[in-house]
Amino acid sequence: MKKNLINISGAEAVIKSFIAEKVDLIYGYPGGAIMPVYDELFKFQNKLHHVLARHEQGAIHSAQGYARASGRVGVVIATSGPGATNLVTGIADAQIDSTPIVCITGQVASHLLGSDAFQETDIIGISTPVTKWNYQITKASEIPTIIAKAFYIARSGRPGPVLIDITKDAQFEFFDFKYQNCVGIRSYKPEPNVELEILKKAAKVINNAKKPMIVWGQGVILGGAESLFLKFVELSGIPAVWTILGASAIPTSHPLNKGMVGMHGNYGPNILTNECDVLIAIGMRFDDRVTGDLNTYAKQAKIIHFEIDPAEVNKNVKADIPVLGDCKKSLEQIIPFISNKNYFSWIERFDSLMKIENKKVIQKDLFPLKKGLTMGESINAINNITKGNAIIVTDVGQHQMVACRYAKFSKSKSNITSGGLGTMGFALPAAIGAKMGAPDRHVIAVIGDGGYQMTIQELGTIYQNNLPVKIVVLNNDFLGMVRQWQQMFFEKRYASTEMVNPDFVAIAKGYYIKSERVTSREDLDAAIKRMLSNDEPYFLEIRVEKEDNVFPMIPTGASVSDIRLE
């Protein structure tokens, strides 16, 4: 035997590669084509904890939640055929939201490839458009090198999902194993070099601005740049606003944090996008839900775009000064050139527009005069107890927009949601991963009655692992966001959006999870206190108004200046 080499199977090599990458938690679902890896996983239970999901989609969303809450790479395993294809939605979600995931799928034996064998699918072909990288292994000797590359690619630069497909014969085959962590790939440059002259040029434009505005996204969090970003904001004195994935990078209570941009963002940040003279975009990609009509978006402003991915620069909005590079390094190097200024009248413009929004929207949402409970007051009641210290995991729909608008955050990595793909069913399994990634923090899943039923089976995962996840379902018996659009743009033709829901409390109890239902305002605070003081999993259904709408709102294709308050 060669020095430093051990002769092991491909399946054992997968497990030893995970251990070498300091993986301690894996989500997955077993099956025939991945069974050799699961057999080895059984032998290494003392080093690797496997979480059995109830569906592969639940497994990958859990891995996403873990990655987003911990900042580490999430790992998921599935079998071939339907096991692999059931991962695709989560892979696409991770790709567009820049979440580092390594997926291992089993595959039929290599001599059967292309023969339409039982549970054979071309997962490499299927996943190519939605992965950062993928690869099929047919020889055991490839395993350590390919897995090392997978982790490096997933976590470096702009993070993303990687899929490795391993044929069953490669899992059984023996070879001489040695693992070496990947620290670079010749053909892959994960981040551009920061150019000092570009930074100086950007700083000059920023310092000369009269009405500047910062828009930040998740890149600040992914880059671990929160403290430098806060220093940049405070030093410059520039009002800063955020995309939904950027929420929590700095506390919501900070005086220069002026709220959320986008379709259901705050009134002021959207209106003033088309009044600022310099727009400084940091770690965001100018998604259409942020920009609205591109033909009218910030045409009066000089655009400075801090971005790690060159493909995102000038893709939607032309940058006058593109600042390529890791935003942590860029911010660190630009700060010495930034002047400390006050923008009293400009900031007053934000505050005056917030007063309008507060009167027409926020007061009605948080302190309603109507009899029925609102989504906004439900989120506000959670705020009153958590004081912004909880991780809020949301699904997709009206509740998501309400939670992003009203949840208070005092720490980074506190807002976990499906942003770019808008995946219903995301929240419940993602909350599982978030709790395991941040075990010392309260994790509250805020979900609509529609999305909840897409992955409701993951209550079994919560029960089996005794995870103290808190689940809040805001139940309005509708697919609320679609219903709102039908009301506003389709003359109230509520086509296939009204839900006939089951007894959610009884279902939770069927999984041995403590549960209760709130239907009146008088009972809301006490129920939330009971939920958060309990050290076990807890389910709370809050019956809210059936036809509440989320405002402000920018109609699809409209300018951000056309934002509606009612």
At 149, the amino acid letter reads K
User: Which helix (H) or strand (E) covers residue 358, if one does?
Assistant: none
Q: Which of 40, 57, 120, 168 is catalytic?
A: 168
Which H/E stretch holds residue 424?
Answer: none
Give the Cβ contact number of residue 354 at 10 Å: 17
d(CA 555, CA 486): 12
Name the E strands within 34-169. 49-52, 74-78, 101-107, 133-137, 161-167
Look up 168 and say whether it is catalytic. yes
Give, to the nearest 10 degrees, the angle between helix 375-386 and helix 398-406: 40
- Structural tokens at position 339: 């002047």
The single residue of 12, 21, 40, 56 carrying the catalytic annotation is 56
Spatial distance between the Cα atoms of 22 and 163, rounded to a whole number of angstroms = 18
| Structure tokens given for 485 | 């659009």
Specify whether the CB–CB gap between 54 and 93 falls below 8 A.
no
Over the Cα atoms of the chain, what is R_g?
24
Rounded CA gap, 88 and 125, in Å? 11
Q: Which of 401, 424, 481, 553 is catalytic?
A: 481
What are the distances in angstroms from CA 238 to CA 199, 340, 343, 555?
A: 17, 9, 7, 28
**Residue with structure tokens 């290494």?**
44
CA distances (Å), 511 to each of 22, 456, 480, in order?
A: 33, 11, 27
| Catalytic residue (choose from 119, 457, 464, 487) | 119
Q: Please state, in angstroms and rounded to a whole number, the distance separating the CA atoms of residues 93 and 89.
A: 6
- Please give the backbone phi and psi of residue 518, each rounded to the nearest 5 degrees, phi first: -115, 130
Dihedral of the alpha carbons of 321, 326, 328, 332, in degrees to the nearest 10: -50
Tokens of 363: 């007061």
For β-strands 415-416 and 321-324, DSSP reports them as unpaired
Between the two ends of the chain, the Cα-to-Cα distance in Å is 75
For the question of residue 481 being annotated catalytic, the response is: yes
Residues 30, 79: contact at Cβ < 8 Å? yes
CA distance 443 to 422: 20
Annotated catalytic, 454? no
Q: Name the strand (E) or helix (H) holding 397.
A: none
Position 166, amino acid: I
Pairing assessment for the beta strands 302-307 and 240-242 based on DSSP bridges: unpaired
Of the candidates 150, 141, 147, 179, the one whose C-alpha atom is nearest the C-alpha of residue 10 is 141
d(CA 174, CA 151): 23
Q: Are 324 and 196 in contact (CB under 8 A)?
A: no
Single out the catalytic residue among 22, 42, 47, 118. Answer: 118
Q: In degrees, to the nearest 5, what angle opens at C-alpha 23 toward C-alphas 20 and 25?
A: 150
H runs (alpha helix) in 313-420: 327-334, 344-357, 363-366, 375-386, 398-406
Catalytic residues: 56, 118-119, 168, 481
